[in-house]
Amino acid sequence: MSKIKNLKERIIYLIIFILLLIAEILIGLFVHDSFIRPYFGDTLVVILLWAFIRIFIPDKPIWLSLIIFLFATIVELTQLIPLVDLLGIKNQIIRTLMGTSFAYGDLLAYASGCIITAIIDIIVFKHKDRQAEGKK
């Protein structure tokens, strides 16, 4: 892949990351409901993480969506013990990032976000493979 095309992809993922980060911040600050903040926000957070990683790994990521889902699941499972309290974490930002209460619905939200990213990767990389075959 040419360096310019690679740079363009990285910039696209950076823009997606920034837009999702802004959306997450706005949801966190201004939305206090029982659906958008907890479920849509959790769906977006795994897509945000995916976009962040894709800035640095724009080439075909094998199993990236699955790895992100496993990471999010581990973070969610730490809320069962509750890890933030056991570690004595008082910083509200870190407590928010790590979470303080376990919910099965969060796992479904993470799964839906990771399914979205997997579908995007499948579509993008099938398109790239077709383009590469056309150049041969």
What is the maximum span of the chain, computed from C-alpha positions, in angstroms?
A: 59
Short-list 113, 123, 75, CA closest to 97: 75
- Summarised one tens digit per residue, pLDDT across range 23-44 is 999 998 899 999 998 899 999 9
The pLDDT-based confidence of 50 (bands split at 50, 70, 90) is very high
DSSP-derived 3-state class of residue 88: coil
Task: Determine how many CB atoms are found less than 10 A away from the CB of residue 52.
Answer: 17
Domain count, the chain: 1
Domain that holds residue 64: 3-135
52-103: per-residue pLDDT in tens?
A: 999 999 887 779 999 999 999 999 999 999 888 889 999 988 888 788 889 9
Residue 83: what pLDDT? 85
